[in-house]
Structures are given as C-alpha cells and as structure tokens.
Structure 1
Amino acid sequence: MKKIWISSAFILFSLLNVQAQDYYIYVAAESEDEVSLIKFDGEKAETIKNIPVGVWPAEIEGPHGITVAPDGKHWYLSMAHGNPFGYLYKFETGSDEKVGETTLGLFPASMQISPANGLLFVVNFNLHGDMVPSTISVVDPESMSELKQVTVGTMPHGSRITPDGMHQYSVGMMSGELFEINTMTLEVSRILNLDTNEAIDPEMDDAHAIHEDHSQHNMGGNTMASMSEMGATMEHHHSATKPTWVMPHPNKKLAYVTGNGSDEILEVDLEQWKIVDRFKGGKGPYNLEISPDGSKLVVSYKSDGSTGIWDLKKKKEIARIENLRKVTHGVAISPDNKYAFISVEGIGGEPGTMEVIDLKKGKRVTYAELGKQAGGIAFWKMEE
C-alpha cells in the first residue's frame, strides 16, 4: 500500500509539473531607455533580458507604448521623444533584434494592431505641443510605413481595438472625448463627449476641422499650426473627466473608460453610444484591462498607487491591492484569466516594478524590479 501511495503522489506531482505554465511579459522603462523581458513561472518573476532601445547616449528618448503582434512574432515600441517627432520601432521576438522603424507624430504612446487587416494604430499624445487636436498614426507594420494620420482629440491615449479588429477606440485626455475609428475606412466614425454624455457628429466637429485645415504631413508626422496662428477660432475645453484609457469588452457591446480626473470608471454602451453606468474606485484611475473571459476588470489607480479588481457581472470592486511603489501605470492579463501583470513607475530614482496579481485570490504573488519609470506593458506568450 505504501508503494502504491508513493507512486500515486509521484504521478500527481508529475502531472502538476506538466501543467505548469511560464508567462512572458515585456515592460518598457521610460527613464531608462530599455525594455525588460520578464518570465513568471507561477511563483517567481524574474527579468531574463534587458534590451537597450535608445539611440542617443546623452538623451532619454522615452520608450512608452508597447504591443506584441497577434501572431507573437514581433513587438513594437513607441519612442516618445524625437526631433521633432517620435518613432515606432519593430523588434523580432526571441532575438529581440530591431528590424524596422518609422517616424510618427508628437509623443507617440499606446498602440495595438487590428487582427482584421494587420494595421497598427498608435496615438500621438502630443504631451509637449500646443493644446490642439492630435492624431492617430496608422502604420503598415510589414513595410513600417505610416499610411495616414487620423485627427482625433487633444492628448489622445489608450489605443484599443475590438476583438474582431473592425473598430479602434481612443480617448482625448484634455478634450474629454471618446473616439471610434473604422479600421477599414481609416476614418472617425463616432465621437462621444464624456463630460456631457452627448454624441458629436464627426462632420460637424469644428475644432477637428480647423486642425485638419492647418495640418500638413511632413516626414510621416503632422506639422501643426500654433495656437497663435489659429487665433480665437478654436475654443479651449479642459475636461473634468480627463479620460486616459478605453477598453472594449471581449464579448459584449460595451467599452470601459478610466476617468482620471473624475475618479471613476465609465461604462459605455457601444450600440446606444452613451455612458450607461459609472463606478467609483480609487484615486486617479489610469489604465485598465478586461480578462479574456470578460468576467473581471483590472484598473491601475495611478494617484493612489494601487490596483483594483472588479467583478463586471456584479459591478463591484472585489479587491484592491496596494502596490509596492507609487505611480501605478499599466495592466496586462494572461490569456488563461489567472494573473494580472502591473507596471509601477516608482518616484525619483526608485526602480520600477512589475507586480503579479492572482485574480482569483485578489493578492500579489510576486514582483520583479525594473528600470526607472516602468510604464508600457505587453503580454507575449505562455509556455508549458
């Protein structure tokens, strides 16, 4: 009997080992000009590679947004700083060698690739420019050429695409708008004012029309007219909602928006095209992600230095985890719905971190230390 018990235990242990997963995540450190590849084995997270991505040794070029192609063969990185425009870099996964680049607009940030047509959509956040409508750069990632810049709101952020790849969403942080782009026509199809919950006709949006009239393409970027050139023809609007991220639901006609200025999460019905619910969470919600099964929403509270987990069916926050350092930034969730990976910037000379949260237990499992100002985060793959 004893031998049988030992054999059964050994078989069970072997099966658990076979089923164990390794998770691989890329995180960009904006003030370090490097990207870290992190491996999490279910217990421990460790940096297995630091990839230098800067070109100019005396300058911080600011790697900001990062995304992995749907087929997992390449990853893409926006370099926020440039002269005068930022850049998009293309790397091969595995070797992590840079294999392409192109010029974008002012301060390019978050991005994603449409699975419907393979085009990459990256927001030009325009952090250091005039308070005017900025653009979404549409890039062919095969040729690494910018095809078009689509005018959206002031300080656009949170470029996210529906699972079918047909629509891209972004928010204007300072103009307080939600934008929908048709990924086939490459045109803005709908605009929602998040401060008033009113739809705006893209054809009648005077501010964007003015911007288009005063814009011209130059080396893959927009050379925008200054505010003095526009004069008093353009009315300033500083949003109370201050949206910073948008994420469409994986299987419902809903999208969720972080109201960084109003300390709330907005639920938008994409068929009615209006806000239908508001959730009060922590202070300064910044980024968010929804689990692939659609059950949980994970949000980074940038001002609080914490991470919230929401049960979307109950519309209730079921856990809030205080992060190890301040300035919580990005969120990525594993395809098996088990773990959330959170990037935390840190303050001053502190290193950044990537924290691993067990979504079922609502607790931090482990963490890895990274370069300063860890921000952009993207899930690469799972391996047994």
Structure 2
Amino acid sequence: MTVAVRVVLGSLSILLLLACSNLAEAQVRIVQTNSRGDNIHLIDPSTNTIVGEIKGVPINHGAAGSPDGSRLYFSSEAEQTLHVVDGKTLHVTKKIPLTGRPNNISISKDGRRVYVGIVSAPGTVDVIDTTTLERVKSIPTKGGIHNVYVTPDGQHLVAGSIAGRLMTVIDQKTEEPVWTLFQEGVRPIAFETNADGSTKRLFVQLSNFHGFAVVDFANRKEVSRIELPNDIPAEKVDKGPFNASPSHGLGVSPDGKTLWVTSRPNARVYTYSLPDLKLLPGAVDLGGRPDWVTFTPDSKLVYIATENTDSVVVIDVARRQEITRVKVGSAPKRNITVTMRQNSSQ
C-alpha cells in the first residue's frame, strides 16, 4: 500500500468517525411547555419518557429551538421576558425584556432572529438578535399577536391576532408587513409547501369555528373552510368553555402527507390526507381537551398535548392509534420538536 493510499484511507476514516459522532450527538426531543407552571419537559421519542426538565420560566407560552441545537427560547407571560436556555445544561442563561406580555414565538431559519408575538395592546412582533441577545426592533401590528410563525422556507413571518381579527404576513428580510387576511380571531396555523419548499397553503384555525380555513398563499386569499365532524353522541360532547377556540391545535406531518387537526368538544384528533384534504378514517380519542400538535422528523409519531389531563398523547401516525401517554406538568399546551446536539441523556 502506497503512502498516498494510506493518507486517503486515513482521512476517510476520520471523516467517517466524525460523521458517526455527529449522528450520535443528534438527539430529537419533544419540548412540552406547561402553561400553568414554571417548568418545561423534554421527551425522548425513542423511549417516550421525560429525560429533561427546564425550570424557572413562569407561565411559559411559546417555545423555539436554534437550528444547531445549542439553545432553546421560551416566552414568559408572567415576567414579560424571553428566556434563553442552554441546550446542554438546560439552565436559563439570560432573560430578555420584551415590550409587553408575550404569547407564541418563532425563530428564523438561520437562527439569527427570534420573533416574539406581543399580545398586549396595541400589538407588535418583538425582534430579538440571537448574537447580542437583545431586542433590536418591534414590528407594529393591528391587534395583539397570539401566534407568530416563520414559514418553512424562511421567507415570511405569519402573525395571527385574536383581538385584531387579522392575520398579517411579514417579509422576513425587510421585517415589514406585506399583506393581511381575515376578519376573525386567528388561532394556530399550519403550513403546506410546494415541491421547491415555498409556501403553498395555510391551514388556519379561527375563533368560534370548529375546524379550519384553507388559504392559498400565492394568491393571498381564503379558498375554503372545513368543519370538523360531529361524530360523537351529544351527551359526550364537551360543552366547554373553550375561550372561543373549539379547535386549537393542528399540524402538517414533515413528509407532507397528512394534516392533523384537534377538536376540544370531541376530545379527538382528525386526520386529513394531503393535498386532497380527504378525511381519513380512525379519529383518535384523546381523553381530554387537546391543544398543540408536533411530530418526530421521520413523521412516524405525533404528540398532542391535552391540557386538562396534564399529559401528552403519543400516536402512531401510520396506524392512527395511541401508543402511550406521558405525564407532564400543569396544563400543557404548546409543543415543538427540536434536535439537541450534545452527548448527554437529557
């Protein structure tokens, strides 16, 4: 064997070891907030057990994770701050003051900006620079912002207001509003993409509507509304109250094949095929009032928070059957999926 061959083989071995090391360090976690507590739980989807807990974020609302897995971000309604959490130690490292009471948050695709919906009047989206960890600007909106999202392609922000009865689409580069839609309170939103990753349709839950609206993103208009089934006996229907939000949680699976939509009155989650939005058989009884929905990256599992049972229901996506339930904190609502990059069993 020549020296040149040995060098090449040695280099390949090093690259292979580094690749294996990176794969070993990549840990998928389900991050579950607890809206009436000061803690957040991390669930390992390979075991469906709690493997980490973040403390000291009172009345936590929104959650986001940096693309490299080094940080987590949480909004605190009680302290009106954005909490920065180290991804390895799970300790709060900084609290960033905000302009008012925050609700949901989102992060830019490159991880350089965190966007915080401010529900306090008159309403803004606070912009946090993740290098300096300071608020650098606020984007004015009509009405307080309940949820803010970055589109999957990273090109736009979508901010929903309940009080303002409006959805505002913001250009991510200029951080300026470009168009608005609806005259109703806007709740959770899910995104369908085109083959090139650009935004195709939005699925939008609205105040006092048991279902969702469908928005053609390119044409900037609502094209239909789909009401969830009334498929359980009347005596078993939960009468609420639901804070004017009978349907508060939905998500598109990462493979783009299905849309999952929760029903509080029916305590179920319904599945629609994409792109035809055909209702699939096998609605799953969640045994409590459901909220947000998040998936594993491989689209095999979906996690649904049930606020009044203090638990998360784990469902097999292909079979549409419950696998298990994970007990968490008080009144779990918002959840996200992140990839943590460190060699620890958090």
TM-score, normalisation: structure 1: 0.72
Deviations 1:245-295 (A, max 9, x none): 223323342111112312221111111100012111168111222112221
Q: Does 1:334 align with 2:334?
A: no
Q: Does 1:312 align with 2:274?
A: yes
Match of 1:39, as an amino acid?
D
| Whole-angstrom CA distance in 2 between matches of 1:247 and 1:293 | 14
Match of 2:303, as an amino acid?
F
**Aligned with residue 168 of structure 1, among 139, 154, 157:** 157
The match for 1:112 is 106
Query: Which has the higher mean CA deviation after the structures are superposed, 295-304 or 134-143?
Result: 295-304
The match for 2:73 is 76
Shift of 1:155: 3.4
Shift of 1:305: 2.8
Structure 1 stretches of 4+ with a deviation exceeding 6 A read none
The match for 2:208 is 261
The match for 1:122 is 116
Q: What percent of counterpart residues are identical?
A: 21
The match for 1:182 is 171
Structure 1 residues 62 and 300: alpha-carbon distance in aligned structure 2, compared to 1, 3 A threshold = same
C-alpha contact 1:33 1:63 (8 A) present in aligned 2:
yes
Match of 1:316, as an amino acid?
K
The match for 1:271 is 218
Structure 1 residues 22 and 68: alpha-carbon distance in aligned structure 2, compared to 1, 3 A threshold = closer
| Whole-angstrom CA distance in 2 between matches of 1:22 and 1:113 | 19
Q: Does 1:134 align with 2:123?
A: yes
C-alpha contact 2:55 2:91 (8 A) present in aligned 1:
no
Q: Does 1:243 align with 2:205?
A: no
The match for 2:249 is 287
The match for 1:8 is none
The match for 2:316 is 358
| Whole-angstrom CA distance in 2 between matches of 1:329 and 1:76 | 20
**Aligned with residue 94 of structure 2, among 100, 104, 113:** 100
Q: Does 1:47 align with 2:50?
A: yes
The match for 1:143 is 132
Match of 1:108, as an amino acid?
P
| Whole-angstrom CA distance in 2 between matches of 1:308 and 1:67 | 26
C-alpha contact 2:70 2:340 (8 A) present in aligned 1:
no
| Whole-angstrom CA distance in 1 between matches of 2:324 and 2:207 | 27
Shift of 1:332: 0.9
| Whole-angstrom CA distance in 2 between matches of 1:382 and 1:104 | 26
3-state SS, counterpart of residue 249 of structure 1: strand
**Aligned with residue 260 of structure 2, among 298, 304, 308:** 298
3-state SS, counterpart of residue 286 of structure 1: coil
| Whole-angstrom CA distance in 1 between matches of 2:268 and 2:136 | 38
3-state SS, counterpart of residue 253 of structure 1: strand
1:25-40 matches, cutoff 5 A: 25-40=30-45
TM-score, normalisation: structure 2: 0.80
Match of 2:248, as an amino acid?
Y
**Aligned with residue 380 of structure 1, among 325, 338, 345:** 338
| Whole-angstrom CA distance in 1 between matches of 2:130 and 2:97 | 12
Shift of 1:69: 1.3
Shift of 1:382: 8.3
Shift of 1:22: 7.3
Unpaired runs of 5+ residues, structure 1, are 1-20, 55-60, 127-131, 196-238
| Whole-angstrom CA distance in 2 between matches of 1:331 and 1:344 | 10
| Whole-angstrom CA distance in 1 between matches of 2:65 and 2:149 | 13
Structure 1 residues 304 and 175: alpha-carbon distance in aligned structure 2, compared to 1, 3 A threshold = farther
Unpaired runs of 5+ residues, structure 2, are 1-25, 230-244, 342-346
C-alpha contact 1:247 1:257 (8 A) present in aligned 2:
yes
Shift of 1:118: 2.1
Shift of 1:353: 0.7
Shift of 1:367: 1.3
| Whole-angstrom CA distance in 2 between matches of 1:68 and 1:303 | 31
Aligned length: 299
| Whole-angstrom CA distance in 2 between matches of 1:336 and 1:146 | 34
The match for 2:15 is none
The match for 2:18 is none
Match of 1:67, as an amino acid?
A
Shift of 1:49: 2.4
**Aligned with residue 91 of structure 1, among 77, 85, 92:** 85
Structure 1 residues 72 and 117: alpha-carbon distance in aligned structure 2, compared to 1, 3 A threshold = closer
C-alpha contact 2:66 2:111 (8 A) present in aligned 1:
no
Structure 1 residues 88 and 382: alpha-carbon distance in aligned structure 2, compared to 1, 3 A threshold = closer
Query: Which has the higher mean CA deviation after the structures are superposed, 373-382 or 31-40?
Result: 373-382
Q: CA RMSD in A?
A: 2.4
